[in-house]
Structure 1
């Protein structure tokens, strides 16, 4: 029974580390990713050796798989809480809402506005860049001022210059 519980515990540690390592690698944080990879490899080999050497291998394999699934949930939860990186939002509005723009800028968000033409006439579009950890806050502010806004959120891979990056450099000095 101890072996079964150890397998479950190892999977509950291994899979979130695997998830975070993958995310760090995709985000270009290879030093952190490689450190997690070493830890991940040790846990994986240790856990797999327990599964393959045990007498009750069928139960061990089922617990191993169950731990993997639960570990995915834990890894996703941890990643969401860490909210590493940036999010860019495209916000489509019926008209220019200067009050919203001022509020977003006062809250520290980088906002660029454009005028365009949609199916039903002129529209106003905002591009807003923020840290991922502030995405929910940003959407809440937009919805308060513009409940009917059409919002698209995506993660930019690279960017150079601009309000946000200059502000970050000033805060880090």
Structure 2
């Protein structure tokens, strides 16, 4: 009876440890991509500590397929949880390059009136004169800005970009 409880506890530990360490790995990679080396190192320390503890329970039991399956399922769910956490944290900034028909140029002024930084230039597409807007906002504001554009210009072409570094300019706080 006691051995069964210990096995269940080990399986639960392996499962949740993998979810935690893989989620932390996702966050660590975001810090690395952004160039935040010290936060990445701190998260990486905890990530590898949790991973090593979980791995220790599996390496000694490679002949136990249940532990291997639980280890792998924990990894898979950790990927999902890591992405959800990353989306909620919305760290950093997102660039939007928005191409609209020139007749919708008033959108530029409306966005600026709301405090969004907009740089624009004229272009020419297959279907005529265009206006291209470059907008850098906090990540959590990017979907809001895109939706505002789509409400007024449903045929807008919006590209979301991940700026790694930038300097100067104006940003909505």
Normalising by structure 2, we get a TM-score of: 0.89
- Paired residue for 1:74? 81
User: In structure 2, what is the Cα distance between the partners aligned to 1:99 and 1:116?
Assistant: 16
**What's the CA shift for 1:11?**
0.8
User: In structure 1, what is the Cα distance between the partners aligned to 2:104 and 2:24?
Assistant: 43
Q: Structure 1: 5+ residue runs without aligned partners? A: 169-173
User: In structure 2, what is the Cα distance between the partners aligned to 1:64 and 1:55?
Assistant: 11
Is 2:12 aligned against 1:8?
no
Distance change >3 Å, CA 32–CA 139, structure 1 → 2: same
Is 2:135 aligned against 1:128?
yes
User: In structure 1, what is the Cα distance between the partners aligned to 2:134 and 2:51?
Assistant: 43
User: In structure 2, what is the Cα distance between the partners aligned to 1:41 and 1:152?
Assistant: 35
- Paired residue for 1:64? 71
- Paired residue for 1:28? 35
Superposed CA RMSD: 1.6
Normalising by structure 1, we get a TM-score of: 0.89
User: In structure 2, what is the Cα distance between the partners aligned to 1:53 and 1:107?
Assistant: 60
Aligned residue pairs total 166
Q: Structure 2: 5+ residue runs without aligned partners? A: 1-7
Is 2:60 aligned against 1:53?
yes
User: In structure 2, what is the Cα distance between the partners aligned to 1:18 and 1:144?
Assistant: 37
User: In structure 2, what is the Cα distance between the partners aligned to 1:161 and 1:96?
Assistant: 30
- Paired residue for 1:143? 150
**What's the CA shift for 1:108?**
2.1
